[in-house]
Amino acid sequence: MNRMSVARIAGTALLAAGLATSLSLPATATPQAASVGMLAAMQRDLGLTTDAALARIDQENVANAAAQTLTTRLGSDFAGTWFDSSTGRLVVATTNVARSQEIQSAGATAKVVQRSAAQLDALKSTIDARATSAPKSVSGWYVDLTTNSVVASVVGADSAGVAWAAAQGARTETVTEAARPLWNLIGGQAIRNSQARCSIAFSARSGSTRFILTAGHCGELGGTWSGSGGTIGPVSRFNFPTDDFAAIQVTSAAAVQTALVDRFNSGSDVTVAGSSAAAVGSSICRSGSTTGWHCGTVQATNQTVNYGGGDVVFGLTRTSVCAEPGDSGGAYVSPNGATRVQAQGITSGGSGNCTSGGTTFHQPVNEALSRYGLSLVTG
């Protein structure tokens, strides 16, 4: 949709509505270590029982800890890590068969592959440099660690898109529709200016100066933004396209920052405890004003998405969480306790819907915090 459209579009896409709105636990999880609402969402969206959801959270925490250690230890032999939900174990890819025993001794499954993580990233960077030559049918590309390749998403197996992908050295996957910007996401509170409605992802600060983070395609509209209680403040900075994040300065003394994310009818608000990135294969949940609280898994990191019209965004995280128009700018989080979460990202865009399922992309929050020199508000 045209991101400059006015008024309240209850569900658009980059996901916008003329107004674009907007889990690590201790080992041995117990029902108290994961909230009822979060477990219910994981059961609904991942097809898990309560016990299976608790066990999975435990397994993912063990896997994420091992991944951090092995990523550094393997150096140039490292070719990526992912969580295998069928075995409940971390898989570590390496280009050196001699490192397999070391990986297995750390409690992970070793997989020997041809390309290192650095080589895969280099290939993707080469394709990124040719982004403007991509046909419109190529909706994005990403590093698929599980197949040790770069994958290009082509709408309807369009021949021009398939040929372009092949020329770049990318493997092709067919998708039914192109990704589109998601305008209407809500992390906990809807925000508006004269042209659109978006949502808060997270609160952040630089010294005593306060900000809220949202999607860059919302910040691009500029102006002064307001929330349910009145004026919040003006757009301070935005990055879109290339990236998709923005900071709105909180200038109103009446606007109080919190570390909360709304779970709608899935339970009470959750509290952001930090921003440790979840591994590929981990469970992740999204909060949005159109479709509420939904969960899925992290499918890939560093995805490039071609939204069309020259709007190409790099470095997004690909997930199986559904979203619909109006869900842009909202919060992506991962489990970190009974009512605590780790901030993961800011909803950018996607395809599909929450009836038949879909694919969504988020802008990693740590990149936005680093670029703007901000600290996340935690509770």
Euclidean distance between CA atoms 373 and 9, whole angstroms: 33
Structural element, H or E, at residue 41: helix 36-46
Is 311 a catalytic site residue?
A: no
Catalytic residue among 149, 199, 275, 328: 328
Catalytic residue among 24, 149, 217, 266: 217
Q: Average pLDDT by consecutive 10-residue portion of the chain (379 residues)?
A: 31 47 31 66 90 91 91 95 95 97 95 97 97 95 97 96 98 90 53 86 95 94 88 95 97 87 86 95 91 94 95 97 87 89 95 93 98 95
Euclidean distance between CA atoms 124 and 302, whole angstroms: 9
Other C-beta atoms lying within 10 Å of the C-beta of residue 2: 12
Is 262 a catalytic site residue?
A: no
What domains sit in the chain, N to C, each tagged with a CATH number? 12-37+116-379 (2.40.10.10), 38-112 (3.30.300.50)
In sequence order, the β-bridge partners of residue 343 are 333
Catalytic residue among 45, 58, 243, 244: 244
Euclidean distance between CA atoms 160 and 135, whole angstroms: 7
List own/partner pairs for 83-87 with CB under 8 A and 24 or more apart.
Answer: 83/59, 83/279, 83/280, 83/281, 83/282, 84/109, 84/281, 85/56, 85/281, 85/297
Is 85 a catalytic site residue?
A: no
* Strand, coil or helix: 150: strand
CB 311 within 8 Å of CB 181: yes
